[in-house]
Amino acid sequence: MDSVMRSEGPRSEPDLVLAPPPPVRRILVEEEPTVVQPPAPGNGYVPLGGHGNGLTTQVRRREPSSAPKIERMRTEGVSIAYGEKLAVDEVTIPVRQGEVLALIGPSGCGKTTLLRSLNRLVEITPTATRGGTITLDGEDIDRMEVTELRRRVSMVFQQPNPFPMSVFDNIAYALREQGSRRPRKEALHEHVADALVRAGLWDEVGSTLDHPALRLSGGQQQRLCIARALAARPEVLLLDEPCSALDPRSTQVIEDLILKLRDEVAVVIVTHNMQQALRVADHVGFMYLGELVEYGPAEQVFGSPREERTREYVGGAFG
């Protein structure tokens, strides 16, 4: 806080003899520059941007999971183009259960397009073409029924999109609309409750399952969408910037949820928020202009990136 007292100059006609003005006093709050010691590695902290970059931002890491890592999906040399424009260029990346894969990169780098190719949602766009292979548990996904693929690989979108139905009907949607026999409501109740528990939403909506889903808050709606995606017990969960439309508190709740889920499903999350990637991801893929520039464990990509472009992005040189 600065407070400066300004004294007036002498008047032309000094009727009064003013006392000499007090000396200007600047009241400052001394701020000690915070000296952050780069902690020893293994202490749970990772400086962003690599050592010697001068950044002092610290992010608390989470514990890695102890569950076995099973490879669920794999893309081999996948390229995707919209008409003439190449969006994804020869990407090979594995997706494993027991860990969270984060795709990071600046806008337009192709990470969302790559994500959407994993459940063949890219095909909806008429001008999209795809090369390379993607496998789910060894099977080529192009040879599967697309509806079955999407049952096994679920997706949560950036904007929460609960259907205009009750909470119960939303969650039960995946269970009802996949078979020819329409299951009874009582039989579904157990699955719905289970999905809500896994999504951490049961306490809040368990007693009001028949209320319209659109009346929930934004964070609750997004968790509802996650519960809905989990209801049919998929093998892979795709998250397309799930927290970008939410407030920080909801974001934290969902990040904790993601960490809890990674043992049951393989999680792929696209995010443009590097701190978020650092908080939740085990492996990170950095994409730039459609290319997978670097892929590796999160500590390595953020702490000591191999590529120059990665270093620049992670250090905040561009975004």
Partner 1 sequence: MPTEGIAARLPGRRGPGPGASSAAGTGFWSDARVERLLGAVACLVLLLIVGMIGFVFAKAWPSFADNGLAWFASGGDVDLQLEDIFASPANPAEYVYHLRAWPLLWGTFVVTAGAVTIGIVFSLFAAIFIVEFAPSQVNRVLEPVVRLLAAVPSVVYGLIGILVIVPWVGEHLISLERKESVANLVQLDGASISVGILILTVMIVPIMIAIVVDALRAVPRSWTEGAAALGANRWRITWTIAVRTARPAIVAAAVLATARALGEAIMLSMVAGSASFAPNPIDGITFLFEPTRPLASALVENVEGLSVVPFGETLFAFAAVLLVSSMFLSLAGFVAKQSMRKYGVRP
Partner 2 sequence: MSAATSPLDSVRSWPLRDRLGYFAAWAAGMALIAIAAAILIYMGYRGAQYFNLGLLIESPSSSLNQAKSGGFRDPLIGTATLLVLSTLIAAPLGVTIAVWLTEYGRPAGLARAVESAIEVVAGTPSIVLAMFGLILFQEWFGFLTFDAEGAVLGRSFIAAASMMSLIALPLVVGATREALNSIPGHVREASYALGKTKAATIRRVLLPAARPGIGTGAALGMGRVAGDTAIVVVLLGATLQILNGGDGGVFGFFKGTGGTLTSYVYYNSPAGEGLAPEKAYFAAFVLLGVVILLNFVVARLARRREPAWIR
Distance in Å, CB of 319 to partner 1, minimum: 26
> Which range in 82-90, 92-100, 165-173, 262-270 contacts partner 1 by CB under 8 A?
165-173
Are residues 136 and 72 in contact, defined by beta-carbon separation less than 8 angstroms? yes
Return the residue of 129, 147, 217, 275 that touches partner 2, per CB under 8 A.
147
Residue given tokens 């927290």 in the structure block? 243
Q: Which of residues 183-222 bind partner 1 (CB under 8 A)?
A: 212-214
Residue given tokens 């993607």 in the structure block? 134
Are residues 96 and 266 in contact, defined by beta-carbon separation less than 8 angstroms? yes
Rg (CA), the chain: 26
Return the residue of 124, 138, 184, 248 that touches partner 2, per CB under 8 A.
124
Sign (positive or negative) of CA dihedral 63, 68, 73, 78: positive
Main-chain dihedrals φ then ψ at residue 51, nearest 5 degrees: -70, 150
CB-nearer residue toward partner 2: 80 or 254: 80
| 161 is a contact residue toward partner 1 (CB under 8 A) | yes
CB-nearer residue toward partner 1: 144 or 193: 144
Q: Which of residues 149-188 bind partner 2 (CB under 8 A)?
A: 179-180
Residue 89, H or E segment: strand 85-97
CB-nearer residue toward partner 2: 49 or 234: 234
Q: For the window 221-240, what string marks contact with partner 1 as x by the rule CB under 8 A?
A: ----x--xx--x--------
| 174 is a contact residue toward partner 1 (CB under 8 A) | yes
Tell me the one-letter amino acid at 267.
V
Are residues 317 and 295 in contact, defined by beta-carbon separation less than 8 angstroms? no
CB-nearer residue toward partner 2: 75 or 119: 119
179 contact choice in partner 2, partner 1, none (CB below 5 to 8 Å, kind-dependent): partner 2
Relative to beta strand 283-288, strand 266-270 is: unpaired
Are residues 155 and 229 in contact, defined by beta-carbon separation less than 8 angstroms? yes
Distance in Å, CB of 161 to partner 2, minimum: 11
Are residues 72 and 114 in contact, defined by beta-carbon separation less than 8 angstroms? no
Nearest to 7 by CA among 27, 25, 24: 24
Q: Residues in the site for partner 1, rule: CB under 8 A?
A: 119, 121, 124, 147-151, 154-155, 157, 159, 161, 163-166, 173-174, 177-178, 212-214, 225, 228-229, 232
| Site residues for partner 2 per CB under 8 A | 120, 123-124, 126, 142, 145-147, 179-180
